[in-house]
Amino acid sequence: MTSDDELVRALKRGDRDALGELFERHKDFVFRVALGLTGRRDMAAEIVQETFLALLKRSASLDPRRGRVTTWLFEVARRRAMDHHRRRRFEIVRLDASPRPAASPEESAIASERRDALHRAVADLPARPREVFVLRIGLGFSVDETARLLGCGTGAVRTALHDAHRRLRVALLDRPEGERDVRDFTPSTE
């Protein structure tokens, strides 16, 4: 299997298939990062497009020796997500429903609402706790990996994660009685 570095070199030579392969490999990762940081699927899809367009435009200056392409994609997606988040922070929109099948329309609606509530709560966190929470909890990176991706120390990651937990508990518990169990907000990973 061709490595990411080889694909980046091929992309720099103008290989069109290389971009398609990189997109297929990493589109979901970029989407998850963007969704976790913005809390909106439509915005996350937009960020995926912007991120890969940026990869295409800046492919000439990419150097595989200076870092992995996933790190580069994460950084671009994170910045875009922050920009989108700042711009549309006060928009009130109905989030898209997940296409994941549910047992019944009623359950599906409830699950979708809870999922959206979770994404909104995460998206309302301050920048650093949100980034740490998305990477550490949402995507399952280790503390070391999260620190490396964010360019900070592991102590800062733990502090920000604790802050995120505290804020999310307050946000998710400040809801109607029937939604007080925050684990119900966890989307299914199946």
Partner 1 sequence: MSAISRRPPSDRGLDDAPVAAGYLLGERLSEEAATSIAARLDDELRARSSTWRRVGFTGLIAATAAAAAILLGFLLARNPAPNVPRDGASPVARAPAPRLEAAPPIPPAVAPMPPRGSSSVPERPSPPLATPRVAPEKGTRAASAEREAVTASEKQPPQVIARDREVAAPLATPSHEERIVRMLVRRTDDPSRASISMTIRYWRPAESGSKEVPR
Contact residues: partner 1, CB under 8 A: 14, 16, 19-20, 23, 27-28, 31-32, 35-36, 41, 44-45, 48-49, 52-53, 56, 98-100, 118, 134, 136-140, 162, 165-166, 168-169, 172-173, 180-183, 185-190
Q: Closest approach of Cβ 165 to partner 1, in Å?
A: 6
Q: How far apart are CA 171 and CA 169, in angstroms?
A: 5
Q: Closest approach of Cβ 128 to partner 1, in Å?
A: 17
Please say which residue, 52 or 72, places its beta carbon nearer to partner 1: 52
Assess contact for 17 and 9: CB atoms under 8 A: no
- Give the largest Cα separation in the chain, rounded: 58
Please say which residue, 15 or 75, places its beta carbon nearer to partner 1: 15
Q: Closest approach of Cβ 57 to partner 1, in Å?
A: 8
Query: Which residues make Cβ contacts (< 8 Å) with residue 10, sequence separation at least 6?
Result: 2, 17, 18
Please say which residue, 99 or 151, places its beta carbon nearer to partner 1: 99
Assess contact for 8 and 59: CB atoms under 8 A: yes
Q: Closest approach of Cβ 64 to partner 1, in Å?
A: 20
Q: Closest approach of Cβ 121 to partner 1, in Å?
A: 9
Q: How far apart are CA 8 and CA 70, in angstroms?
A: 11
Q: Residue 160: left (phi > 0), alpha (psi -120 to 50), or beta? A: alpha
Q: Closest approach of Cβ 50 to partner 1, in Å?
A: 10
Please say which residue, 26 or 65, places its beta carbon nearer to partner 1: 26
Q: How far apart are CA 86 and CA 120, in angstroms?
A: 14
Q: How far apart are CA 2 and CA 21, in angstroms?
A: 9
Please say which residue, 57 or 66, places its beta carbon nearer to partner 1: 57
Instruction: Give the 3-state secondary structure of residue 3.
Output: coil
Task: Quickly tell me which residue has 């875009």 as its tokens.
Answer: 80
Please say which residue, 56 or 82, places its beta carbon nearer to partner 1: 56
